A and B are shown apart, each in its own frame.
Chain A
Protein backbone atom coordinates (compact mmCIF):
# COMPACT_ATOMS: atom_id res chain seq x y z
CA UNK A 1 0.00 0.00 0.00
CA UNK A 2 1.50 3.34 -0.93
CA UNK A 3 -1.20 5.70 0.20
CA UNK A 4 -4.06 5.86 2.65
CA UNK A 5 -6.52 4.88 -0.08
CA UNK A 6 -7.51 1.25 -0.60
CA UNK A 7 -7.63 2.07 -4.32
CA UNK A 8 -3.85 2.25 -4.67
CA UNK A 9 -1.58 -0.76 -4.29
CA UNK A 10 1.98 -1.74 -5.01
CA UNK A 11 2.79 -5.36 -5.76
CA UNK A 12 5.38 -7.49 -7.51
CA UNK A 13 5.01 -8.95 -10.98
CA UNK A 14 7.97 -11.26 -10.40
CA UNK A 15 11.33 -11.26 -8.71
CA UNK A 16 14.72 -11.44 -10.36
CA UNK A 17 16.88 -13.67 -8.20
CA UNK A 18 20.49 -12.55 -8.02
CA UNK A 19 23.47 -14.89 -7.56
CA UNK A 20 24.08 -13.45 -4.10
CA UNK A 21 20.65 -14.56 -2.94
CA UNK A 22 19.17 -11.09 -3.15
CA UNK A 23 16.11 -10.46 -5.29
CA UNK A 24 15.10 -7.46 -7.38
CA UNK A 25 11.35 -7.04 -7.76
CA UNK A 26 9.66 -6.01 -10.99
CA UNK A 27 6.93 -3.87 -9.53
CA UNK A 28 3.44 -2.92 -10.56
CA UNK A 29 1.37 -0.04 -9.24
CA UNK A 30 -2.40 -0.42 -9.37
CA UNK A 31 -4.90 2.38 -9.19
CA UNK A 32 -8.67 2.01 -8.92
CA UNK A 33 -10.47 -1.29 -9.28
CA UNK A 34 -13.99 -2.54 -9.78
CA UNK A 35 -15.82 -3.48 -12.95
CA UNK A 36 -14.41 -0.99 -15.46
CA UNK A 37 -11.75 -1.67 -18.06
CA UNK A 38 -8.18 -2.50 -17.14
CA UNK A 39 -5.50 -0.36 -18.78
CA UNK A 40 -1.77 -1.09 -18.65
CA UNK A 41 1.11 1.37 -19.10
CA UNK A 42 4.60 -0.13 -19.15
CA UNK A 43 8.04 1.47 -19.33
CA UNK A 44 11.67 0.50 -19.02
CA UNK A 45 11.94 -2.53 -21.33
CA UNK A 46 15.34 -1.06 -22.16
CA UNK A 47 17.41 0.27 -19.31
CA UNK A 48 18.32 3.44 -21.20
CA UNK A 49 14.85 4.97 -21.44
CA UNK A 50 14.26 6.86 -18.18
CA UNK A 51 11.72 9.18 -19.83
CA UNK A 52 9.05 6.47 -19.74
CA UNK A 53 9.69 5.76 -16.09
CA UNK A 54 9.40 9.45 -15.23
CA UNK A 55 6.24 9.72 -17.29
CA UNK A 56 4.63 6.93 -15.28
CA UNK A 57 5.62 8.70 -12.07
CA UNK A 58 3.84 11.83 -13.36
CA UNK A 59 0.75 9.80 -14.27
CA UNK A 60 0.89 7.80 -11.03
CA UNK A 61 1.03 10.93 -8.92
CA UNK A 62 -2.09 12.25 -10.62
CA UNK A 63 -3.98 8.93 -10.38
CA UNK A 64 -3.13 8.63 -6.69
CA UNK A 65 -4.92 11.91 -6.15
CA UNK A 66 -8.17 10.57 -7.59
CA UNK A 67 -7.87 6.78 -7.28
CA UNK A 68 -11.24 6.32 -5.61
CA UNK A 69 -12.99 8.04 -8.51
CA UNK A 70 -11.56 5.69 -11.14
CA UNK A 71 -14.07 3.42 -12.89
CA UNK A 72 -11.68 0.65 -13.77
CA UNK A 73 -8.08 -0.27 -13.08
CA UNK A 74 -4.87 1.37 -14.24
CA UNK A 75 -1.71 -0.70 -13.90
CA UNK A 76 1.67 1.01 -14.16
CA UNK A 77 4.90 -0.95 -14.66
CA UNK A 78 7.54 1.78 -14.20
CA UNK A 79 10.51 -0.38 -15.12
CA UNK A 80 10.38 -3.90 -16.52
CA UNK A 81 14.17 -4.18 -16.80
CA UNK A 82 15.53 -2.84 -13.48
CA UNK A 83 18.99 -4.44 -13.77
CA UNK A 84 19.68 -2.66 -17.07
CA UNK A 85 18.23 0.59 -15.73
CA UNK A 86 20.57 0.22 -12.76
CA UNK A 87 23.46 0.52 -15.25
CA UNK A 88 21.77 2.85 -17.75
CA UNK A 89 22.18 0.37 -20.61
CA UNK A 90 19.64 -1.04 -23.04
CA UNK A 91 20.29 -4.78 -22.80
CA UNK A 92 19.88 -7.12 -19.84
CA UNK A 93 23.30 -7.10 -18.13
CA UNK A 94 25.39 -10.25 -18.23
CA UNK A 95 23.21 -11.98 -20.78
CA UNK A 96 23.33 -9.08 -23.26
CA UNK A 97 19.70 -9.79 -24.12
CA UNK A 98 17.33 -7.17 -25.52
CA UNK A 99 14.12 -7.65 -23.54
CA UNK A 100 12.18 -6.03 -26.40
CA UNK A 101 12.96 -9.08 -28.55
CA UNK A 102 12.12 -11.82 -26.00
CA UNK A 103 8.32 -11.89 -26.12
CA UNK A 104 6.29 -14.00 -25.37
CA UNK A 105 9.11 -15.21 -23.12
CA UNK A 106 9.43 -18.55 -21.36
CA UNK A 107 8.71 -19.50 -17.77
CA UNK A 108 11.48 -22.12 -17.67
CA UNK A 109 14.28 -19.93 -18.98
CA UNK A 110 16.55 -17.15 -17.73
CA UNK A 111 15.34 -14.00 -16.04
CA UNK A 112 14.53 -11.83 -19.09
CA UNK A 113 12.46 -14.62 -20.62
CA UNK A 114 10.61 -15.11 -17.34
CA UNK A 115 9.93 -11.38 -16.98
CA UNK A 116 8.59 -11.33 -20.55
CA UNK A 117 6.39 -14.37 -19.89
CA UNK A 118 5.10 -12.96 -16.60
CA UNK A 119 4.24 -9.66 -18.26
CA UNK A 120 2.43 -11.25 -21.21
CA UNK A 121 0.38 -13.36 -18.77
CA UNK A 122 -0.35 -10.36 -16.58
CA UNK A 123 -1.71 -8.14 -19.38
CA UNK A 124 -3.97 -10.77 -20.90
CA UNK A 125 -7.50 -9.38 -21.01
CA UNK A 126 -6.42 -5.76 -20.60
CA UNK A 127 -8.54 -3.27 -22.56
CA UNK A 128 -5.41 -1.45 -23.70
CA UNK A 129 -1.65 -1.72 -23.27
CA UNK A 130 0.63 1.26 -23.93
CA UNK A 131 4.40 0.96 -23.93
CA UNK A 132 6.55 4.00 -23.19
CA UNK A 133 9.60 3.16 -25.27
CA UNK A 134 11.64 6.35 -25.08
CA UNK A 135 14.26 7.05 -27.73
CA UNK A 136 17.52 5.56 -28.98
CA UNK A 137 20.38 7.33 -27.19
CA UNK A 138 21.69 8.81 -30.44
CA UNK A 139 18.44 10.64 -31.30
CA UNK A 140 15.93 13.20 -30.21
CA UNK A 141 12.38 12.28 -31.17
CA UNK A 142 9.22 14.34 -31.38
CA UNK A 143 6.44 12.75 -29.30
CA UNK A 144 4.97 10.04 -31.50
CA UNK A 145 3.02 6.78 -31.45
CA UNK A 146 3.48 3.59 -33.42
CA UNK A 147 0.83 0.93 -34.00
CA UNK A 148 0.32 -2.02 -36.29
CA UNK A 149 -1.25 -0.80 -39.52
CA UNK A 150 -3.92 -3.52 -39.54
CA UNK A 151 -5.23 -2.66 -36.04
CA UNK A 152 -7.84 0.15 -36.32
CA UNK A 153 -8.59 0.11 -32.59
CA UNK A 154 -4.94 0.76 -31.77
CA UNK A 155 -4.87 3.57 -34.31
CA UNK A 156 -7.99 5.18 -32.86
CA UNK A 157 -6.52 5.13 -29.39
CA UNK A 158 -3.09 6.31 -30.49
CA UNK A 159 -4.75 9.43 -31.91
CA UNK A 160 -5.93 10.30 -28.40
CA UNK A 161 -2.44 10.31 -26.91
CA UNK A 162 -1.41 13.93 -27.57
CA UNK A 163 1.36 12.99 -30.00
CA UNK A 164 2.54 14.82 -33.11
CA UNK A 165 2.44 11.75 -35.31
CA UNK A 166 1.01 8.21 -35.44
CA UNK A 167 2.92 5.73 -37.59
CA UNK A 168 0.98 2.79 -39.00
CA UNK A 169 3.62 0.09 -39.30
CA UNK A 170 3.23 -2.70 -41.81
CA UNK A 171 5.79 -5.08 -40.29
CA UNK A 172 6.11 -6.67 -36.87
CA UNK A 173 9.46 -7.67 -35.44
CA UNK A 174 9.59 -11.27 -34.17
CA UNK A 175 9.88 -11.31 -30.40
CA UNK A 176 8.57 -7.76 -29.96
CA UNK A 177 5.86 -6.92 -27.46
CA UNK A 178 3.54 -5.88 -30.31
CA UNK A 179 3.88 -9.38 -31.78
CA UNK A 180 2.10 -10.68 -28.64
CA UNK A 181 -0.15 -7.70 -27.90
CA UNK A 182 -1.55 -6.75 -31.33
CA UNK A 183 -3.32 -3.59 -30.21
CA UNK A 184 -0.26 -2.29 -28.39
CA UNK A 185 0.42 1.43 -28.75
CA UNK A 186 4.09 2.34 -28.50
CA UNK A 187 4.90 5.88 -27.40
CA UNK A 188 8.24 7.47 -28.12
CA UNK A 189 9.67 10.90 -27.53
CA UNK A 190 12.55 12.86 -26.13
CA UNK A 191 16.19 11.85 -26.10
CA UNK A 192 17.54 8.43 -25.22
CA UNK A 193 18.92 7.95 -21.70
CA UNK A 194 17.98 11.49 -20.80
CA UNK A 195 14.97 13.37 -19.54
CA UNK A 196 13.56 15.90 -21.96
CA UNK A 197 11.76 18.99 -20.79
CA UNK A 198 8.08 18.89 -21.74
CA UNK A 199 7.85 15.37 -23.12
CA UNK A 200 6.49 13.83 -19.93
CA UNK A 201 3.88 16.55 -19.65
CA UNK A 202 2.81 16.18 -23.29
CA UNK A 203 2.59 12.39 -23.24
CA UNK A 204 1.22 12.36 -19.69
CA UNK A 205 -1.73 14.46 -20.82
CA UNK A 206 -2.21 11.96 -23.63
CA UNK A 207 -2.35 9.00 -21.26
CA UNK A 208 -4.89 10.74 -19.05
CA UNK A 209 -6.96 11.62 -22.13
CA UNK A 210 -6.93 7.96 -23.14
CA UNK A 211 -8.10 6.94 -19.66
CA UNK A 212 -10.91 9.46 -19.92
CA UNK A 213 -11.90 8.17 -23.37
CA UNK A 214 -12.01 4.60 -22.04
CA UNK A 215 -14.25 5.71 -19.18
CA UNK A 216 -11.73 4.93 -16.45
CA UNK A 217 -11.06 8.55 -15.52
CA UNK A 218 -14.07 10.90 -15.23
CA UNK A 219 -13.75 13.68 -17.78
CA UNK A 220 -14.33 16.22 -15.05
CA UNK A 221 -11.08 15.08 -13.43
CA UNK A 222 -8.95 15.79 -16.49
CA UNK A 223 -6.48 18.57 -15.56
CA UNK A 224 -6.97 20.13 -19.00
CA UNK A 225 -9.78 20.51 -21.51
CA UNK A 226 -9.95 17.60 -23.94
CA UNK A 227 -9.86 20.06 -26.85
CA UNK A 228 -6.23 20.85 -25.93
CA UNK A 229 -5.16 17.39 -27.16
CA UNK A 230 -3.15 17.61 -30.39
CA UNK A 231 -4.46 16.08 -33.60
CA UNK A 232 -1.59 14.00 -34.93
CA UNK A 233 -0.41 13.32 -38.46
CA UNK A 234 -1.45 9.71 -39.13
CA UNK A 235 0.50 7.97 -41.85
CA UNK A 236 1.76 4.63 -43.10
CA UNK A 237 5.34 3.61 -43.74
CA UNK A 238 5.41 5.26 -47.18
CA UNK A 239 5.13 8.70 -45.60
CA UNK A 240 8.36 8.37 -43.64
CA UNK A 241 11.74 9.24 -45.13
CA UNK A 242 14.94 8.03 -43.50
CA UNK A 243 17.82 10.30 -44.43
CA UNK A 244 21.08 8.42 -44.04
CA UNK A 245 24.69 9.50 -44.34
CA UNK A 246 26.81 8.31 -47.23
CA UNK A 247 30.04 9.51 -45.65
CA UNK A 248 31.66 9.05 -42.26
CA UNK A 249 32.52 12.01 -40.05
CA UNK A 250 30.72 14.36 -37.71
CA UNK A 251 27.07 15.13 -38.41
CA UNK A 252 26.12 18.74 -37.73
CA UNK A 253 22.34 19.27 -37.87
CA UNK A 254 21.00 22.36 -39.57
CA UNK A 255 17.38 21.99 -38.45
CA UNK A 256 15.53 21.56 -35.20
CA UNK A 257 13.24 18.81 -33.94
CA UNK A 258 9.76 18.87 -35.49
CA UNK A 259 10.92 21.64 -37.80
CA UNK A 260 9.04 22.06 -41.08
CA UNK A 261 11.20 21.51 -44.16
CA UNK A 262 10.74 21.78 -47.90
CA UNK A 263 12.19 19.36 -50.43
CA UNK A 264 15.84 20.34 -50.97
CA UNK A 265 16.27 22.11 -47.63
CA UNK A 266 19.55 21.45 -45.84
CA UNK A 267 19.10 19.04 -42.92
CA UNK A 268 22.73 18.91 -41.89
CA UNK A 269 26.31 18.38 -42.97
CA UNK A 270 28.85 15.63 -42.46
CA UNK A 271 32.28 17.11 -41.90
CA UNK A 272 35.72 15.54 -41.80
CA UNK A 273 36.46 15.55 -38.07
CA UNK A 274 40.04 16.81 -38.19
CA UNK A 275 40.00 19.44 -40.96
CA UNK A 276 36.35 20.42 -40.76
CA UNK A 277 35.99 20.00 -44.53
CA UNK A 278 32.38 19.39 -45.56
CA UNK A 279 32.11 15.84 -46.90
CA UNK A 280 28.39 15.70 -47.50
CA UNK A 281 25.28 17.82 -47.36
CA UNK A 282 22.08 16.03 -46.39
CA UNK A 283 18.93 17.52 -47.84
CA UNK A 284 15.23 16.83 -47.39
CA UNK A 285 13.98 14.51 -50.16
CA UNK A 286 10.36 15.72 -49.73
CA UNK A 287 8.38 18.35 -47.88
CA UNK A 288 7.73 17.28 -44.32
CA UNK A 289 8.56 17.61 -40.65
CA UNK A 290 11.59 16.42 -38.71
CA UNK A 291 10.37 13.52 -36.57
CA UNK A 292 13.79 12.29 -35.42
CA UNK A 293 17.13 14.05 -35.46
CA UNK A 294 20.54 12.60 -34.72
CA UNK A 295 22.22 14.17 -31.70
CA UNK A 296 25.23 11.86 -31.47
CA UNK A 297 27.53 13.46 -34.04
CA UNK A 298 29.93 10.64 -34.97
CA UNK A 299 28.55 8.87 -38.06
CA UNK A 300 29.57 6.11 -40.43
CA UNK A 301 28.19 5.69 -43.95
CA UNK A 302 24.61 4.47 -43.58
CA UNK A 303 23.81 5.95 -40.18
CA UNK A 304 20.41 7.53 -39.81
CA UNK A 305 20.75 11.31 -39.57
CA UNK A 306 17.09 12.33 -39.64
CA UNK A 307 13.64 10.86 -40.15
CA UNK A 308 10.95 12.97 -41.77
CA UNK A 309 7.22 12.48 -41.82
CA UNK A 310 5.95 13.67 -45.17
CA UNK A 311 2.18 13.25 -45.01
Chain B
Protein backbone atom coordinates (compact mmCIF):
# COMPACT_ATOMS: atom_id res chain seq x y z
CA UNK B 1 0.00 0.00 0.00
CA UNK B 2 1.29 3.44 -0.83
CA UNK B 3 0.23 6.99 -0.07
CA UNK B 4 -0.15 8.77 -3.40
CA UNK B 5 -1.34 12.12 -2.09
CA UNK B 6 -1.30 14.00 1.22
CA UNK B 7 -3.19 17.05 2.43
CA UNK B 8 -2.33 18.84 5.63
CA UNK B 9 -5.14 18.98 8.15
CA UNK B 10 -5.29 21.61 10.89
CA UNK B 11 -6.16 19.43 13.89
CA UNK B 12 -6.43 15.83 12.75
CA UNK B 13 -3.52 13.95 11.16
CA UNK B 14 -3.01 14.68 7.46
CA UNK B 15 -5.37 13.39 4.78
CA UNK B 16 -3.74 10.49 2.91
CA UNK B 17 -4.94 8.96 -0.34
CA UNK B 18 -4.05 5.28 -0.16
CA UNK B 19 -3.54 3.05 -3.18
CA UNK B 20 -3.10 -0.70 -3.08
CA UNK B 21 -1.21 -2.00 -6.10
CA UNK B 22 -1.13 -5.64 -7.20
CA UNK B 23 1.03 -6.99 -10.03
CA UNK B 24 3.03 -4.99 -12.53
CA UNK B 25 3.05 -4.00 -16.18
CA UNK B 26 0.17 -3.62 -18.63
CA UNK B 27 -2.75 -3.54 -18.68
CA UNK B 28 -3.35 -1.17 -15.77
CA UNK B 29 -6.83 -1.28 -14.25
CA UNK B 30 -7.88 1.11 -11.48
CA UNK B 31 -10.83 0.57 -9.16
CA UNK B 32 -12.00 3.38 -6.90
CA UNK B 33 -14.55 3.50 -4.08
CA UNK B 34 -15.61 5.82 -1.31
CA UNK B 35 -15.64 9.10 -3.20
CA UNK B 36 -18.77 9.73 -1.18
CA UNK B 37 -17.80 9.10 2.42
CA UNK B 38 -20.95 7.19 3.34
CA UNK B 39 -20.86 4.72 0.41
CA UNK B 40 -19.37 1.83 2.32
CA UNK B 41 -20.47 -1.12 0.15
CA UNK B 42 -17.77 -0.19 -2.32
CA UNK B 43 -15.12 0.06 0.39
CA UNK B 44 -15.89 -3.48 1.55
CA UNK B 45 -16.17 -4.81 -2.01
CA UNK B 46 -12.69 -3.50 -2.86
CA UNK B 47 -11.26 -5.07 0.26
CA UNK B 48 -12.77 -8.40 -0.84
CA UNK B 49 -11.17 -7.94 -4.26
CA UNK B 50 -7.85 -7.22 -2.53
CA UNK B 51 -8.17 -10.64 -0.88
CA UNK B 52 -8.66 -12.26 -4.28
CA UNK B 53 -5.66 -10.44 -5.73
CA UNK B 54 -3.46 -11.60 -2.86
CA UNK B 55 -4.43 -15.19 -3.65
CA UNK B 56 -4.31 -14.81 -7.44
CA UNK B 57 -1.59 -12.41 -8.62
CA UNK B 58 -2.79 -10.47 -11.65
CA UNK B 59 -1.30 -10.52 -15.13
CA UNK B 60 -0.87 -6.78 -15.34
CA UNK B 61 -1.48 -4.10 -12.72
CA UNK B 62 -4.53 -3.49 -10.55
CA UNK B 63 -4.74 -0.32 -8.47
CA UNK B 64 -7.35 -0.27 -5.70
CA UNK B 65 -8.30 3.02 -4.00
CA UNK B 66 -10.82 1.69 -1.46
CA UNK B 67 -11.78 4.86 0.40
CA UNK B 68 -11.04 8.22 -1.21
CA UNK B 69 -13.14 10.40 1.10
CA UNK B 70 -11.72 9.18 4.40
CA UNK B 71 -12.78 12.32 6.24
CA UNK B 72 -16.37 11.89 5.03
CA UNK B 73 -16.33 8.21 6.00
CA UNK B 74 -15.17 9.09 9.50
CA UNK B 75 -18.02 11.55 9.85
CA UNK B 76 -20.60 9.24 8.16
CA UNK B 77 -21.11 11.94 5.54
CA UNK B 78 -21.42 11.80 1.80
CA UNK B 79 -19.55 15.06 1.24
CA UNK B 80 -16.08 16.25 2.15
CA UNK B 81 -17.06 17.38 5.62
CA UNK B 82 -14.97 20.48 6.26
CA UNK B 83 -16.29 22.70 3.49
CA UNK B 84 -19.32 20.58 2.58
CA UNK B 85 -18.23 19.89 -0.99
CA UNK B 86 -19.28 16.94 -3.13
CA UNK B 87 -15.98 15.37 -4.11
CA UNK B 88 -17.55 13.74 -7.16
CA UNK B 89 -18.38 17.21 -8.52
CA UNK B 90 -14.74 18.29 -8.22
CA UNK B 91 -13.44 16.10 -11.08
CA UNK B 92 -11.22 16.37 -13.08
CA UNK B 93 -9.83 18.44 -10.23
CA UNK B 94 -7.01 20.95 -10.03
CA UNK B 95 -3.70 20.32 -8.20
CA UNK B 96 -3.60 24.00 -7.26
CA UNK B 97 -7.30 24.41 -6.52
CA UNK B 98 -9.49 23.91 -3.45
CA UNK B 99 -9.00 20.89 -1.16
CA UNK B 100 -11.54 18.69 -2.98
CA UNK B 101 -10.14 19.74 -6.36
CA UNK B 102 -6.67 18.71 -5.20
CA UNK B 103 -7.93 15.33 -4.00
CA UNK B 104 -9.84 14.84 -7.26
CA UNK B 105 -6.76 15.67 -9.34
CA UNK B 106 -4.71 13.21 -7.29
CA UNK B 107 -7.29 10.46 -7.88
CA UNK B 108 -7.27 11.09 -11.63
CA UNK B 109 -3.48 11.04 -11.73
CA UNK B 110 -3.24 7.89 -9.60
CA UNK B 111 -5.68 5.95 -11.78
CA UNK B 112 -4.27 6.47 -15.26
CA UNK B 113 -4.29 3.31 -17.33
CA UNK B 114 -6.34 1.09 -19.58
CA UNK B 115 -9.59 1.01 -17.61
CA UNK B 116 -11.21 2.84 -14.68
CA UNK B 117 -14.02 1.52 -12.51
CA UNK B 118 -15.84 3.61 -9.91
CA UNK B 119 -17.81 1.65 -7.31
CA UNK B 120 -20.75 3.59 -5.91
CA UNK B 121 -24.01 3.13 -4.00
CA UNK B 122 -27.36 4.83 -4.13
CA UNK B 123 -28.07 7.81 -1.90
CA UNK B 124 -28.86 7.32 1.78
CA UNK B 125 -32.59 7.34 1.00
CA UNK B 126 -32.59 4.95 -1.98
CA UNK B 127 -31.61 1.29 -2.17
CA UNK B 128 -30.27 0.11 -5.54
CA UNK B 129 -29.79 -3.40 -6.85
CA UNK B 130 -26.17 -4.07 -7.86
CA UNK B 131 -25.85 -2.86 -11.44
CA UNK B 132 -23.43 -1.53 -14.02
CA UNK B 133 -23.68 1.86 -15.72
CA UNK B 134 -21.60 2.18 -18.84
CA UNK B 135 -21.60 3.61 -22.38
CA UNK B 136 -23.67 2.12 -25.16
CA UNK B 137 -20.63 0.79 -27.04
CA UNK B 138 -16.91 0.19 -26.76
CA UNK B 139 -14.67 -1.58 -24.28
CA UNK B 140 -16.38 -0.10 -21.22
CA UNK B 141 -19.71 -1.38 -22.54
CA UNK B 142 -18.30 -4.87 -22.95
CA UNK B 143 -16.82 -4.76 -19.47
CA UNK B 144 -20.13 -3.65 -17.98
CA UNK B 145 -21.84 -6.63 -19.55
CA UNK B 146 -19.06 -8.93 -18.38
CA UNK B 147 -19.65 -7.79 -14.78
CA UNK B 148 -22.69 -10.05 -14.81
CA UNK B 149 -24.76 -7.97 -12.40
CA UNK B 150 -28.54 -8.26 -12.06
CA UNK B 151 -28.96 -5.11 -14.20
CA UNK B 152 -26.66 -3.64 -16.84
CA UNK B 153 -27.65 -0.12 -17.87
CA UNK B 154 -26.11 1.24 -21.08
CA UNK B 155 -26.40 5.03 -21.18
CA UNK B 156 -25.68 7.78 -23.72
CA UNK B 157 -22.24 9.34 -23.33
CA UNK B 158 -23.67 12.66 -22.12
CA UNK B 159 -25.23 10.90 -19.11
CA UNK B 160 -21.80 9.64 -18.09
CA UNK B 161 -20.04 12.98 -18.42
CA UNK B 162 -19.90 13.91 -14.73
CA UNK B 163 -17.74 12.85 -11.84
CA UNK B 164 -14.75 10.55 -11.92
CA UNK B 165 -16.22 8.37 -14.68
CA UNK B 166 -16.68 11.48 -16.83
CA UNK B 167 -13.10 12.61 -16.14
CA UNK B 168 -11.79 9.22 -17.23
CA UNK B 169 -13.91 9.29 -20.40
CA UNK B 170 -12.70 12.78 -21.29
CA UNK B 171 -9.10 11.70 -21.28
CA UNK B 172 -9.93 8.64 -23.39
CA UNK B 173 -9.77 6.04 -20.64
CA UNK B 174 -12.60 3.48 -20.88
CA UNK B 175 -14.61 3.73 -17.68
CA UNK B 176 -17.73 2.43 -16.02
CA UNK B 177 -19.52 2.56 -12.68
CA UNK B 178 -20.69 -0.39 -10.63
CA UNK B 179 -23.35 0.51 -8.08
CA UNK B 180 -25.34 -1.25 -5.43
CA UNK B 181 -26.92 -0.74 -2.02
CA UNK B 182 -27.47 2.59 -0.34
CA UNK B 183 -25.42 5.26 1.35
CA UNK B 184 -24.79 4.90 5.06
CA UNK B 185 -25.38 1.14 5.21
CA UNK B 186 -23.24 -1.92 4.60
CA UNK B 187 -25.03 -4.82 2.92
CA UNK B 188 -22.65 -7.75 3.04
CA UNK B 189 -24.33 -9.73 0.28
CA UNK B 190 -24.48 -6.79 -2.12
CA UNK B 191 -20.83 -5.99 -1.40
CA UNK B 192 -19.97 -9.61 -2.26
CA UNK B 193 -22.00 -9.37 -5.48
CA UNK B 194 -20.08 -6.22 -6.44
CA UNK B 195 -16.76 -7.87 -5.58
CA UNK B 196 -17.54 -10.90 -7.76
CA UNK B 197 -18.54 -8.51 -10.56
CA UNK B 198 -15.23 -6.68 -10.25
CA UNK B 199 -13.37 -9.97 -10.47
CA UNK B 200 -15.30 -10.81 -13.66
CA UNK B 201 -14.38 -7.44 -15.14
CA UNK B 202 -10.73 -8.05 -14.29
CA UNK B 203 -11.10 -11.43 -15.99
CA UNK B 204 -12.58 -9.82 -19.11
CA UNK B 205 -9.65 -7.40 -19.27
CA UNK B 206 -7.33 -10.42 -19.02
CA UNK B 207 -5.83 -9.52 -15.69
CA UNK B 208 -7.33 -12.48 -13.83
CA UNK B 209 -7.92 -15.96 -15.16
CA UNK B 210 -10.21 -17.48 -12.56
CA UNK B 211 -13.65 -15.89 -12.22
CA UNK B 212 -17.11 -17.06 -11.25
CA UNK B 213 -19.87 -17.33 -13.86
CA UNK B 214 -22.79 -14.94 -13.48
CA UNK B 215 -26.52 -15.53 -13.51
CA UNK B 216 -28.18 -13.87 -16.52
CA UNK B 217 -29.30 -10.33 -15.77
CA UNK B 218 -31.20 -7.59 -17.58
CA UNK B 219 -29.25 -5.58 -20.13
CA UNK B 220 -31.11 -2.41 -20.97
CA UNK B 221 -31.01 1.15 -22.18
CA UNK B 222 -34.49 1.92 -20.84
CA UNK B 223 -35.26 2.78 -17.26
CA UNK B 224 -38.69 3.91 -16.05
CA UNK B 225 -38.83 6.34 -13.14
CA UNK B 226 -41.92 6.20 -10.95
CA UNK B 227 -42.62 9.33 -8.95
CA UNK B 228 -45.27 10.23 -6.42
CA UNK B 229 -47.81 12.88 -7.29
CA UNK B 230 -48.40 13.68 -3.62
CA UNK B 231 -46.23 13.89 -0.54
CA UNK B 232 -46.63 11.33 2.24
CA UNK B 233 -45.27 8.08 3.65
CA UNK B 234 -44.15 5.65 0.95
CA UNK B 235 -44.58 1.94 1.68
CA UNK B 236 -42.88 -0.24 -0.97
CA UNK B 237 -44.37 -3.57 -2.01
CA UNK B 238 -41.13 -5.01 -3.38
CA UNK B 239 -37.36 -5.01 -3.08
CA UNK B 240 -34.51 -4.05 -5.41
CA UNK B 241 -33.91 -6.88 -7.87
CA UNK B 242 -37.51 -8.13 -7.87
CA UNK B 243 -39.05 -8.76 -11.28
CA UNK B 244 -42.27 -6.87 -11.96
CA UNK B 245 -44.89 -6.88 -14.70
CA UNK B 246 -46.58 -3.86 -16.22
CA UNK B 247 -49.45 -2.73 -14.02
CA UNK B 248 -48.09 -4.36 -10.87
CA UNK B 249 -48.39 -2.47 -7.60
CA UNK B 250 -44.98 -1.09 -6.61
CA UNK B 251 -45.99 0.67 -3.43
CA UNK B 252 -48.44 3.03 -1.81
CA UNK B 253 -48.23 6.55 -0.51
CA UNK B 254 -50.04 7.00 2.77
CA UNK B 255 -50.73 9.99 4.96
CA UNK B 256 -47.96 10.11 7.57
CA UNK B 257 -50.47 11.19 10.18
CA UNK B 258 -53.31 8.64 10.19
CA UNK B 259 -52.23 6.29 7.41
CA UNK B 260 -54.96 7.09 4.90
CA UNK B 261 -54.11 5.76 1.44
CA UNK B 262 -53.27 8.65 -0.91
CA UNK B 263 -51.82 7.03 -4.01
CA UNK B 264 -50.89 3.68 -5.51
CA UNK B 265 -47.66 3.54 -7.51
CA UNK B 266 -48.07 1.06 -10.37
CA UNK B 267 -45.35 -0.19 -12.67
CA UNK B 268 -45.42 1.34 -16.13
CA UNK B 269 -43.43 -1.50 -17.65
CA UNK B 270 -42.22 -5.04 -17.07
CA UNK B 271 -38.67 -5.38 -15.82
CA UNK B 272 -36.42 -5.55 -12.80
CA UNK B 273 -36.61 -3.14 -9.88
CA UNK B 274 -33.41 -1.12 -10.06
CA UNK B 275 -34.00 1.20 -7.11
CA UNK B 276 -36.50 1.63 -4.28
CA UNK B 277 -36.96 4.54 -1.96
CA UNK B 278 -36.24 3.25 1.54
CA UNK B 279 -36.57 6.44 3.54
CA UNK B 280 -40.37 6.59 3.52
CA UNK B 281 -41.15 10.28 4.01
CA UNK B 282 -41.46 11.68 0.49
CA UNK B 283 -42.39 14.95 -1.12
CA UNK B 284 -44.55 15.24 -4.21
CA UNK B 285 -42.90 14.03 -7.43
CA UNK B 286 -39.96 12.38 -5.75
CA UNK B 287 -38.56 9.25 -7.29
CA UNK B 288 -39.72 6.17 -5.35
CA UNK B 289 -39.14 3.24 -7.71
CA UNK B 290 -36.95 2.84 -10.77
CA UNK B 291 -37.60 -0.13 -13.05
CA UNK B 292 -35.13 -1.37 -15.65
CA UNK B 293 -37.20 -2.67 -18.51
CA UNK B 294 -36.92 -6.19 -19.79
CA UNK B 295 -35.95 -5.90 -23.47
Contact = CB atoms under 8 A, between A and B. Distances in A.
Interface of A: 16-21, 90, 94-96, 108-111, 114, 138, 244, 247-250, 273, 298-304
B256 A110 contact: no
Given A109-B227, A111-B285, A250-B10, A19 B99 contact: no
A266 to B, nearest CB: 20
Contacts of B195: none
A302 B96 contact: yes
Contacts of B285: 108-111, 114
B134 to A, nearest CB: 22
A302 B227 contact: no
A283 to B, nearest CB: 17
B110 to A, nearest CB: 17
Nearest to B101: A302
A248 B227 contact: no
Contacts of B98: 244, 302-304
Contacts, number: 83
B255 A248 contact: no
Given A248-B7, A301-B102, A303-B99, A18 B283 contact: yes
Given A19-B232, A20-B256, A138-B83, A300 B9 contact: yes
B8 A247 contact: yes
Tell me if A's interface is mostly helix, strand, loop or mixed. loop
A95 B286 CA distance: 9
Interface string B260-295: 000000000000000000000111111100000000
B57 interface: no
Contacts of B7: 248, 300-302
Most buried by A among B97, B231, B287: B231
Nearest to B285: A110
Contact of A298 (B10, B281, B286): B10
Nearest to A138: B83
Contact of B10 (A17, A94, A95, A273): A273
16 contacts: A17-B230, A19-B233, A96-B78, A96-B123, A108-B227, A110-B227, A110-B284, A244-B96, A244-B97, A248-B8, A298-B10, A298-B82, A300-B9, A301-B102, A302-B97, A302-B98
Given A110-B285, A114-B285, A248-B10, A300 B82 contact: yes
A90 B97 CA distance: 22
Nearest to B283: A111
Interface string B134-149: 0000000000000000
Most buried by A among B10, B83, B227, B283: B10
Contacts of B8: 247-249, 300-301
Interface string B147-173: 000000000000000000000000000
A248 B7 CA distance: 8
Nearest to B253: A19
Given A19-B256, A108-B227, A302-B98, 19 more contacts: A16-B283, A17-B231, A17-B283, A19-B281, A19-B283, A20-B256, A21-B255, A21-B257, A95-B286, A110-B285, A111-B285, A248-B8, A300-B8, A300-B9, A300-B10, A300-B83, A302-B7, A303-B98, A303-B99
Nearest to B100: A302
Most buried by A among B8, B102, B281, B286: B8
